[in-house]
Amino acid sequence: MKVQILALLFSVFSLVSFSHAQEKLQDRSDWENIFREFDAQGTIVVADERTTTRSTSVYDESRAKKRYSPASTFKIPHTLFALDTGAVHDEFQVFKWDGVVRDFTAHNQDQDLRSAMRNSAVWVYELFAKEIGEDRARGYLRKLNYGNADPSTKHGDYWIDGNLAISACEQISFLRGLYRNELPFHVEHQRLVKDIMIVEAGRDWILRAKTGWDGRVGWWVGWVEWPTGPVFFALNIDTPKRMADLQKREAITRAILRSIEALPPKQYAQPRASYLKLGITFPARNRLSSFYFS
């Protein structure tokens, strides 16, 4: 019975992904001014579903269809894999620091699922990958139709240094499935992943997102939830100046989202102290983990 249900969910997800894949992309060459302002080369796809006349806009469509290493944006589906296999049981399970001193101080401590996502603690996800194994990872990737679905690698982590690759357009398709709980995973696991993706919120909007960086290309993917519907986004840029370029990922995306009123002006963002009043509970965001690490 469980197999039949998962098969049905996968079929629905595949049909939804296929229908979205046929959407006509609206060219937004005018967004070049924003990329130029930040001296960046890249692409962004924005799928606005706040009205019945949904629109998907793109800057540099050719690049938006080109696949790159997902880097730490892969922590989104990877967490689903880990929950499904039992590599992690819930958001409270603690992973003891192995004592290896890494470049980012926040990595050098015990982690749980929330901190591992927030701090992009790669070593925790390396534990997950070891327990999941390449064969099961490949099976999950194929079920999700995630990029090229290839978890092989000659050295390093397959989502950073290996063969796994995904395009900005494909990121949008995956995020849409997660938003609607339509992925072939337990609904409670999808809801948990969305909860630990929260970056910030206002009285009537929530921003869920994840950064990524493989040393060459930087990502920021996610969506903004509004009462009228979500606005999905997937950006990637070249990072020739390496860490000096990483703050551009969010800066460019936020500027574009504000230009279409998918994010409010800066002064309307809620301070952390007000999150509880909004009924949202999650740890304070570590800005350095978002700006300077994968």
Q: Which two tokens stand for residue 141?
A: 């990737």
* pLDDT value of residue 79: 98
CA 142 from centre of chain: 18
* pLDDT value of residue 231: 98
* pLDDT value of residue 1: 52
Q: Which residues of the chain have pLDDT under 70?
A: 1-23, 267-294
Between CA 190 and CA 179 the distance in angstroms is: 8
Each domain of the chain, given as residue ranges in start order, spans 2-292
Q: Which residues are catalytic?
A: 72
* pLDDT value of residue 187: 98
**What CATH number belongs to 2-292?**
3.40.710.10
- Quote the pTM value: 0.84
Place of tokens 């994010």: 263
Between CA 274 and CA 271 the distance in angstroms is: 6
* pLDDT value of residue 290: 37
What Cα–Cα distance (Å) separates residue 236 from each residue in 43, 58, 288? Answer: 6, 12, 19
